[in-house]
Amino acid sequence: MLTVKHLAKSYDGEKKSLTDVSFSVQPGEVTVIIGPSGAGKTTILRSINQLIRDDDGEILFDNTDIRQLNRAQLRQARCRIGMIFQNYNLIEPLTAIENVLHGCLGTKSNLAGIFSIYRNREKEEALKLLEKVGLAEFAYQQCRNLSGGQKQRVGIARALMQQPKIILCDEPIASLDPKSTITVMDILRDLATNDGISVLINLHQVDIARSYADHVIGINNGQVVFDDRIQALSDTAIASIYQKDANSEGSVVHEF
Amino acid sequence: MNSDVQQVTNFFNTKRLRLSIILVIFGLAYIGASIGLGFQTQSLLNVQAGIAWLIHNFIPNEASQGYWNEIIQQLFRTFIVAVASTTCAAVVSLFLAIIGAQTLTPAITVSWVIRCLSSLLRNIPIVAWAMILLFSFKQNDLTGFLALFFMTLGFLTRAFMETIEDFGTEKIQALQATGATYLQVIFQGLLPEIAVALMTWILYMIENNVRDATLVGLLTGTGIGFIFNLYFKSLRYGAAGLVVLSVIILVVAVELISNLIGRLLS
Amino acid sequence: MIKPENQISIPTRQPAGPRLSIPLRFRDRRRVTILMTLIVLAYITLATLPTMIPSHFKLGTALTSFAENIKIMFWQPHLANTTFITLLGALGQSILLAFLTTLIGSVLAFFFALASTRRLAPTYLVLGIQSLMAVIRAIPTVLWVLIYSVVFGLGANAAVVGITFHSVAYLTKVYADSMDELSPGIIETMQAMGLKKSAIIRQAIIPYMMPSYLSWTFIRFEINFADAIAVGAAAGAGGIGYQLFMSSSFYFNFHEVGVMVYMILAFALVLEIISYRLRTATN
Ligand SMILES: Nc1ncnc2c1ncn2[C@@H]1O[C@H](COP(=O)(O)OP(=O)(O)OP(=O)(O)O)[C@@H](O)[C@H]1O
Ligand SMILES: [Mg+2]
């Protein structure tokens, strides 16, 4: 499904944020990336849909290297990669249904984007997705009036509207209360199990990872230090993922 | 399910309908206003003719070089008038704003009187100010200074008052709770907190007044506005071009300086 | 800062030494800047204010005459050379001029702003357009109208085009600034979904900037109304400004000026009520 090979990235050309990161993600599985702050989790996720241009490596999505695509091709590839964010990034002045429908605009014409022209099939799908995330009665609410957990569920519905093969989640639950956290994680788990979508999640909560993940990738200082099934994630493994080695010290101290 | 889809369709249709109605109304208003004024839309397409004319005629020629002296001198006078009127108006405005702001005012009637006064000063057209003052103070820089002073006074009083009111009552009450006097609250609590905002307004006003000083000069026969009018009416376009150029340089320079100060303040 | 749950212990380390000096220096820089600016402004003002007063100037006479004229204006307004209907028509002309220039200006400026916001446009376009607009803004509206009245002939065309120039330059800057305020994450999100630029503008930028678009456009309408009056007077472009100019500098009739000022104030009052309504409606 998705295979990342030898990915490298440096923002300033000097300090390496990623060095030789390789892993792969299976369909129908929840893969969780954990690691200390500043380890490079966000950088990995954003490289996958090329929101940031990495320096070196290979990102095979459906057997094509995303890094080699031109702009139009990249746009098409992105249509099949859903993404959800810690701060939701919804268009707050618009209603939930409009935000969900944005998910299918990538494959449509300029005209459709400008005049909000959607097929009946798409409208039906959007309503179905809102129902799936439990927000059917909020379809016509402005998103700025929704709670954090509700916003995140609209975000998920929007990502699903893209009919994605993979969903990338950058700390999707970091701003949510415990109850919304469980709702959101349950939905993501269900997408992997029942819809066969690959779900790749950046997380800070190891206990959440334990109860939802199939596979764990541990990142420290821009390198993969753990890559195994969740069952293999022992306390010593966790400690080693979160440990600070000598050369990362400076940056981590800076982060805190 | 089908009726739900219909509902979504209706939702988008309503939105589109509302947008179309607004666009049609503005379109009709545009046509109406054009007819009412006798404005021909195609003249918008001839804008480049004006630019071309400007470039062709306003290129300063040999003869216009001789005007530099006079232009620099008048430009300087105009700048001085703009700065002095803004500064003086700022001082008075600050006083008025403090006793007029609803959070600090000694009496609510005072607040309303100052509010009305500032609105009045601001909305009397600068043309009227210039003309009345010209009649009494005759053709000199003082006239321009006063015209700008009154308008700026109205504008800054309002702006300062809103800044002070945004500052809120809580912080003021917190200071009063420590037993501070009215003046102590203002000098120790209020002014240091809003200094940056006030400065930003003053700089904006100076920028604006440099431009308006040209207009006032044109009306009252002083400064850079006057000599532009003089050269322009006597068809000395090269010299007029030089005036425009010098105004551009002055205004852009003032804008750059105020941006720089703004950055130092942030 | 989000930290992992407490079942794992992360050795944290304090940053080496307290870094109090930076905030202090920060405050200091502000204070020095404000003080310096105030000193320069005060110096310019105090040094030059006396030079503005002409040599044999009778302040007393000037002030009495000024007070007299103000009194005539506000307490004895009446018409002599024109009719109220004529003036009403002239006021209407000025309002139409302000409306038309704001409308044209806001539409054009919207597109210029799209081409010069950091969120969408490449840096060279942002810098190029913004500098061009700064230059256009630097030239006072009256000069634009005067210049275009030579090209198009004195009249509505010159007035509209001249005022529009300034409006476009002003609105482009404020629209672009309010687009810049949109968080980059929003645009990135839309790009991550594979949306085209046109869709991003229509579905993300427009909904977000609509409130500030409306309020800035309204502010510009107020400015354009004042400009329409000024231009009418200084460039002879008609409207209430021209009438004002004629009464005050041709007939020297301040009773008449008073009537016109009252009319203008009445309209300004209407505008202020509308703007108050707009502000309370959006908040
Ligand atoms: N835009 C940027 N410019 C420069 N350096 C960056 C940028 N974004 C991230 N970095 C650096 O790259 C490294 C990895 O950052 P990244 O955001 O990927 O970490 P993360 O694991 O997501 O951290 P967190 O858990 O705090 O979100 C960090 O050292 C960071 O300082
Ligand atoms: Mg991150």
**Between β-strands A18-25 and A215-220, what pairing exists: parallel, antiparallel or unpaired?**
unpaired
Give the number of other CB atoms < 10 A from CB of residue C80. 10
Which residues of A touch chain B, with CB atoms under 8 Å apart?
95, 97, 115-116, 118, 120, 123-124, 126-127, 139-140
- Range 119-178 of C in CB contact (< 8 A) with B: 134-135, 137-143, 146-148, 150-152, 155-157, 159-161, 164
Structure tokens at A134: 């439990």
| CB-CB contact of A66 with A48 (8 Å) | yes
Position C172 pLDDT exceeds 50: yes
The pLDDT-based confidence of C282 (bands split at 50, 70, 90) is low
- Is C3 inside a domain boundary? no
User: Residue C199: its chain A contacts at CB < 8 A?
Assistant: 102, 105, 108, 110, 112-114
Position A95 pLDDT exceeds 70: yes
Nearest to C189 among A85, A206, A239 (CB): A85
Q: Is the dihedral of CA B98, B104, B109, B112 positive or negative?
A: positive
**Between β-strands A18-25 and A2-9, what pairing exists: parallel, antiparallel or unpaired?**
antiparallel
- Range 47-76 of A in CB contact (< 8 A) with C: 49, 51, 75-76
Q: How far lies A139's CA from each of A126, A129, A183, A249, B18, in Å?
A: 9, 10, 18, 47, 20
Position C9 pLDDT exceeds 50: no
The pLDDT-based confidence of C15 (bands split at 50, 70, 90) is very low
Strand ranges of the sheet holding A2-9, from the earlier edge strand across to the other edge: A18-25, A2-9, A56-61, A64-65
Q: Which of A120, C177, A32 is nearest to B1 (CA)?
A: A120
**What is the residue-averaged pLDDT of chain C?**
86
- The DSSP-derived string for A120-171 is HHHHHHHHHHHHHTT-GGGTTSBGGGS-HHHHHHHHHHHHHHT--SEEEEES
Give the number of other CB atoms < 10 A from CB of residue A31. 23
Chains near C (3 or more Cβ pairs under 8 Å): A, B
**How many angstroms separate the CA atoms of B146 and B130, rounded?**
8
- CB of C96 less than 8 A from some CB of B: yes
Q: What is the pLDDT of residues B99-122, one digit of tens each?
A: 998 888 888 999 999 999 999 999
Please tell me the predicted confidence (pLDDT) of residue C27.
Answer: 61
Range of the domain at C88: 83-282
Please tell me the predicted confidence (pLDDT) of residue B59.
Answer: 79
Q: Which residues pair with A64 in a beta bridge?
A: A61
Ligand 1 centroid – CA B251 distance (Å):
42
Class of domain A1-80+168-256: alpha beta
Q: Which chain C residue lies closest to B200 (C-alpha atoms)?
A: C34
Please tell me the predicted confidence (pLDDT) of residue C238.
Answer: 83
CB contact set of A102 (below 8 Å; sequence gap of 6+): A91, A158, A161, C190, C193, C195, C199, C203
Full pLDDT tens readout for chain B, 266 residues:
578 899 999 999 999 999 999 999 999 999 999 999 988 888 888 888 888 888 888 877 777 777 888 899 999 999 999 999 999 999 999 999 999 988 888 889 999 999 999 999 999 998 888 888 888 888 888 899 999 999 999 999 999 998 998 887 787 888 888 888 888 888 888 888 888 889 989 999 998 999 999 999 988 888 899 999 998 888 888 888 888 889 999 999 998 998 898 888 87
- Is C4 inside a domain boundary? no
The domain spanning residue C247 has which CATH number?
Answer: 1.10.3720.10
pTM: 0.89
Q: Which residues pair with A82 in a beta bridge?
A: A167
- Is C47 inside a domain boundary? no
Average pLDDT of the residues in A188-203: 94
- Is C200 inside a domain boundary? yes
CATH 1.10.3720.10 is right for the domain spanning B64-265:
yes
Q: What angle do CA B184, B190, B192 make, to 5 degrees?
A: 100
Structure tokens at A54: 């990495």
Strand, coil or helix: A59? strand
Q: What is the pLDDT of residues C187-245, one digit of tens each?
A: 999 999 999 999 999 999 999 999 999 999 999 999 999 999 999 888 888 889 999 99
For chain A, the structural domain boundaries read 1-80+168-256, 89-163
- Determine which of A13-27, A42-56, A230-244, C2-16 has the lowest per-residue pLDDT on average: C2-16
Please tell me the predicted confidence (pLDDT) of residue A245.
Answer: 59
Average pLDDT of the residues in A32-36: 94
**Cβ <8 Å between A91 and C12:** no
User: Residue A124: its chain B contacts at CB < 8 A?
Assistant: 1, 4-5
Please tell me the predicted confidence (pLDDT) of residue C130.
Answer: 94
Average pLDDT of the residues in A143-170: 95
| CB-CB contact of B246 with B75 (8 Å) | yes
Q: What is the pLDDT of residues C52-89, one digit of tens each?
A: 887 777 888 888 888 998 898 889 888 888 889 999 99
CB contact set of C153 (below 8 Å; sequence gap of 6+): none
Please tell me the predicted confidence (pLDDT) of residue B31.
Answer: 96
The complex scores an ipTM of 0.89
Structure tokens at B163: 């800044």
**How many angstroms separate the CA atoms of C252 and C245, rounded?**
9
Q: What angle do CA C106, C109, C112 make, to 5 degrees?
A: 160
Structure tokens at B202: 């003053």
Q: Which ligand is nearest to the CA of A219?
A: 1
